[in-house]
Amino acid sequence: MSSKGMSRRRLIGAAAVAAAALGTQAGGVQPAGAQNAQAKKPGIKVGLYSITFLGIWYRGKELSLEQVVRKAKEYGYDGVEIDGKRPHGNPNDWPTKRCKQLRSVADGEGVEIYAVAGNNDFSSPVCEHRESQIVYMRELIRMASDLGAATVRAFLAWPGVTRQPQLATYTIARNIWDHTHSLTTGGDDWSRCRDALAECAKYAADYGVTLALQNHAPIITSYKDVLRMIKQVDSPQLKACIDLPLLSDKSREAVFAVTNEVGPLEVLSHFGGEYERGADGTVLNNGGNEPYLHFLRGLKQTGYNGYIGYELCHPLPVVDGLTVGIEFAEKNAQLAAEFMRGMIKSAQS
């Protein structure tokens, strides 16, 4: 095949492989990304989704992404997923040079940057809105490639958040989204999302990145909608991100049915919740343990070798008239890592 017919990503990839091979033959050091690939742990890994420290749900400033990486290291996470909006991962703020600098920091801490999370809405009936979202996702894909992240989380539709003046709320954005879509049909919404996602899958192929479609409302009503969309887009770059908390039925039978049906399409997952340490020292999850054991055992049976990432992204408690501060996020992020490592260990036994 001529170089003219090769995609930009394939040309870059071929050059990287050749450079790595020459470096190895000459006794040189391989690029950091190659070293990380060799050092990746087998099995299910625990990740920290940076939205936890975005500074929009608790009182106080956000952590920088460098600080998030160091928090992940401190709390025992294997990697981080970067939220694709300001103040963290909007691609306008992350040219290639800055991405490589952050990747160097993560490499130095032994923390993998495993995903970038898109906050996209492909469902708008307004062409200009939808096209701007496609550009946003194309740039997130580029950014993920520069960071060495294999995956970009995608929605079909995400209404968004607003800040008043610092703390976030879903109410305004969701009311706007609901009004707009009261004027459209579900079939048209689906078609617009499918066409936009298919276009983004082509960009993902150019950069060697995988899109992970999350089972998140609206538009998507169940994990079966995720599978239906993946089948219709029909691209090897589009896979699934099935999150247990978003499943309507968390019984053992239902959860095993989900993991079995999704199978190797699963490339990313998340968990949430709030945590306390019990009197006996164990970590208590307000969502219960059994569903996670079923889910992790189901993933293990399918040979899942990816991340399940912790996210704290909902309105937080108000104490004495004030929303809790960053210390609440820090406590929960630390306990969540301990909780999930224990769940994975139990699921393997």
Per-residue pLDDT of 265-306, as tens digits, reads: 999 999 999 999 999 999 999 878 999 999 999 999 999 999
Q: What is the pLDDT of residues 121-140, one digit of tens each?
A: 999 999 999 999 999 999 99
The set of long-range contacts for 257-261, using a CB threshold of 8 Å and a minimum separation of 24, is 258/223, 258/298, 259/295, 259/298, 259/299, 259/301, 259/302, 260/298, 260/301, 260/302, 261/223, 261/227
- pLDDT at position 286 is 85
Specify whether the CB–CB gap between 136 and 103 falls below 8 A.
Answer: no
| pLDDT above 90: residue 152 | yes
> Strand 112-117 relative to strand 210-214: parallel, antiparallel, unpaired?
unpaired
Q: How confident is the model at residue 40 (pLDDT cuts 50, 70, 90)?
A: low
- pLDDT at position 50 is 98
Report the percentage of the chain scoring pLDDT > 90: 85
The CATH number of the structural domain formed by 44-348 is 3.20.20.150
Mean pLDDT on 146-152: 98
| pLDDT above 60: residue 314 | yes
Mean pLDDT on 176-190: 97
| pLDDT above 90: residue 49 | yes
Domain residue ranges of the chain, discontinuous segments joined by +: 44-348
Q: How far is residue 344's CA from residue 341's CA, in Å, rounded to a whole number? A: 5
Q: What is the pLDDT of residues 93-126, one digit of tens each?
A: 999 999 999 999 999 999 999 999 999 999 999 9
Specify whether the CB–CB gap between 347 and 296 falls below 8 A.
Answer: yes
Q: How confident is the model at residue 32 (pLDDT cuts 50, 70, 90)?
A: very low
Q: Which DSSP symbol is given to 55?
A: S
| pLDDT above 50: residue 20 | no
Q: What are the residues whose beta carbons fall under 8 Å from the beta carbon of 101, sequence distance 6 or more?
A: none
Mean pLDDT on 150-159: 98
Report the percentage of the chain scoring pLDDT > 70: 89
Query: How big is the chain, counted in residues?
Result: 349
